[in-house]
Structure formats: C-alpha cells, structure tokens
Amino acid sequence: MLDMEIREYIAYLSIERGSSPLTVSAYERDLRSYAEFLESQGVASLSRIDRDAVLAYEAELVGSGLAPATIERRVSAIKGFHRFLVREGISAKNPTDSLRLPKVPDTLPDVLSVEQVDRMLSQPFGDDAAGLRNRAILEVLYGCGLRVSELTGLDSGGLLLDEGFLRVVGKGSKERVAPIAGAAADALRNYLERGRPELAKPYAKPTSAVFLNARGGRLTRQSVHAIVARAGLSIGVENLHPHTLRHSFATHLLSGGADLRVIQEMLGHSDISTTQIYTHVDRAHIHDEYISAHPRARLKA
C-alpha cells in the first residue's frame, strides 16, 4: 500500500526540492512505517485514510516511547506527503489538513565550556599523519562550526585558506563559505602539508577529499564520531558528539559579542529561529553583561 505514492514523493524531495540524501532516507523510512501501520489497521487504500487514522498513528508513536523530536519529524513527513498528493491530483483530500504538529519541549544543546575546549585541543595528538589529521578535524569542527557531513564532504577545491574561508556543502546540497583562521587554519595547513600526503596511498584511488582514512580513502562520518568521542574522554566528557562542537562554536561566538545574524550565516541556517536557541544557552552571559553595563543594575533601592 502507498508504495507508488511514496516513491513519487521521495523522487520529488530528492530531485525537485534538492533535499539531502539523509533527509530523503529518513522521510522514506518514516512513510514506510506509516504505510505499514495503516495496513495493520485495515486501511487498504489511499481514499480510506482519514484524520482518525492519522491520529491513531500519532498515538502509536507516542506510546512507543520515541523522542518528541522524532515524533514531530514523522508527523511532519506525513503532512508533507499528503499535501503533495493533493497538489499533484493523486488524492482528493488531505486527512492531515487540520492536524497540528505535536509540541516538542524546548531542549538546549549541550555545549563545552571554553576551558574544556582549550584542554581538549591543547593535549598532545602525536606528530604522525593520524595525529595531525585528528587535531585538524577537532580544530575545524570547533573553529568553523561545521556539521560532520560538511567536514567529511570537504574537498581540496573548497580550501580557500589564503582568503580565510572553506567552501562547504550543507543541508539540501546548499553551498556556503565558512570562515577559518587562527588555530583551525594552522592545524589544517599542518595536516595538508605533513599528514595528508602520507595518508594518500599510491595504490589508493585518487580522491579530492581533504580528510583521509588509513587506506587513503575519504574519511567516514562514523570515523569522525569516534575521533571526537575519544577526544571527549580525554577531558572526562562521555559520548562527545561532533554537533556539540558546532553548538559550542555558536555559543562561544555569541558570548564574544558576535551578531546573531552573522552566526546564522556561519552555521548555514536558513531560518534565524533555528539560530535563536543559542540566545537561551547564553542567558548567564547576557545577565552578566546587563549587570556590568546598566548604570542602575548594581544599585540597591
């Protein structure tokens, strides 16, 4: 059931919308799960899907103990799917038309303190190719705020180090430039000059990838996750995630006085509301600034 309709929608997301492969894959899984549930409930055709059937599926998701954000994504996928079917004339009705997305409680991203980052990046990594690469990875993730997919997808043609930028491909295959300077630029140059040539094996297929594995191929997301997790353990932080370094990058920029719109541009957020979560993370800094700057904030009545 819904197999053809799901394939058409997935093709639309991939080709017309230019959604990233990860997004397309997640939406396809979500819709396959939805179709399986409908079949289990005896809903055998598209015309028989009504609001109650969709609500029953949402209740099933809630009862399964999934995270609220996961439930929101799955319901969002279903709403987009049904809107597409009506717009294309495949279906006459949209059973999700009046359905509201489940509210996701505000969650603040984990961040490292500046002191934790300094301790992590000041430790010895070794002077071999892997050590130079791992230091460069950590410095670039934190120093440029890259997503892990942007880091692993970085090609030599995207290195604009003399201009102080990296050209990266973000979500939805959107290209942007990320500034790079200081420790991140130095670590990357050291790796490119002394580490990458050693990793680029003569027997391996030539690649333009910046970050290579021990076999001379492009480094995978899983390998980057492992490198970051090991670095976290060195400072007593378990399960450190590459995205935590991106969150820390944004939070520390805000603490340093960077404009929110500038941070939005550097992170590659299409909507400022996505970036605004960092204003919540940095409340303590905002309060301190208020106390130190306002002429009457320290006076007692």
Query: 171 versus 142: which is more confidently predicted?
Result: 142
Query: 138 versus 17: which is more confidently predicted?
Result: 138
How big, in percent rounded to 5, are the helix, strand and coil portions of the chain? 60, 5, 35
**DSSP letter at 191?**
I
What whole-number distance in Å separates Cα of residue 184 and Cα of residue 3? 47
Q: Which of 9, 27, 34, 278 is catalytic?
A: 278
87 in catalytic set = no
User: Do the strands 159-160 and 165-169 form a parallel or antiparallel pair, or are they unpaired?
Assistant: antiparallel
What whole-number distance in Å separates Cα of residue 220 and Cα of residue 44? 41
| pLDDT value, residue 268 | 79
| pLDDT value, residue 301 | 44
Q: Which of 73, 246, 247, 252 is catalytic?
A: 246
Cα–chain center distance at 135: 21
What does the buried/exposed string (b/e) look like for 204-242 if buried means 16 or more CB atoms within 10 Å of the residue's CB? eeeeebbbbbeebebbeeebbbebbeebbeebebeebbb
CB-based contacts of 159: which residues, under 8 Å, 6+ apart? 166, 167, 188, 192, 210
Name the residue type at position 158. Answer: G
Mean of all residue pLDDT scores within the chain: 85
User: Which stretch of 49-63, 125-139, 271-285 has the lowest confidence by average pLDDT?
Assistant: 271-285
Q: Summarize pLDDT for 225-256 with one digit per residue, the tens.
A: 999 999 999 999 988 999 899 889 888 888 78
**DSSP letter at 257?**
T
Q: Which of 176, 218, 241, 243 is catalytic?
A: 243
**DSSP letter at 54?**
H
Alpha helices, DSSP H, located in 207-276 = 221-233, 242-255, 260-267, 272-275
Please check whether residue 178 is in contact with residue 141, taking contact to mean a CB–CB distance below 8 angstroms: no
Helix (H) or strand (E) segment spanning residue 92? none
pLDDT surpasses 70 at 185: yes
In the CATH scheme, what is the code of domain 114-288? 1.10.443.10
Q: Summarize pLDDT for 195-235 with one digit per residue, the tens.
A: 999 999 888 788 999 999 999 999 999 999 999 999 999 99
pLDDT surpasses 80 at 16: yes
252 in catalytic set = no
Which of 13, 15, 42, 47 is CA-nearest to residue 30?
A: 13
| pLDDT value, residue 275 | 66
Query: 6 versus 68: which is more confidently predicted?
Result: 6
* 3-class state of residue 176 by DSSP: strand
Mean pLDDT across 283-300 = 57
Q: Summarize pLDDT for 87-141 with one digit per residue, the tens.
A: 999 998 899 887 776 655 555 567 898 999 999 999 999 999 999 999 999 999 9
Dig out the tokens for 135 from the structure: 């230091």
Please check whether residue 169 is in contact with residue 150, taking contact to mean a CB–CB distance below 8 angstroms: yes
- Percent of the chain exceeding pLDDT 90 equals 45
Q: Is domain 3-87 classified as CATH 1.10.150.130?
A: yes
Dig out the tokens for 77 from the structure: 């996928």
Question: Which value, in Å, is the radius of gyration of the alpha carbons in the chain?
Answer: 23
| pLDDT value, residue 259 | 78
Q: Which of 51, 221, 269, 285 is catalytic?
A: 269
Q: How many CA atoms lie within 13 A of 265 on its CB side?
A: 8
Neighbours of 17 (CB within 10 A): 13
**DSSP letter at 166?**
E
| pLDDT value, residue 278 | 64
Mean pLDDT across 62-71 = 78
Which of 55, 267, 116, 256 is CA-nearest to residue 178?
A: 267
Dig out the tokens for 245 from the structure: 């370094």
| pLDDT value, residue 82 | 93
Neighbours of 113 (CB within 10 A): 11
243 in catalytic set = yes
| pLDDT value, residue 186 | 94
171 in catalytic set = yes
Which residue is listed with tokens 């495949």? Answer: 90
Q: Which of 32, 171, 225, 241 is catalytic?
A: 171
Q: Which of 82, 147, 196, 252 is catalytic?
A: 147
Which of 261, 225, 240, 249 is CA-nearest to residue 151?
A: 225
Domain boundaries, the chain: 3-87, 114-288
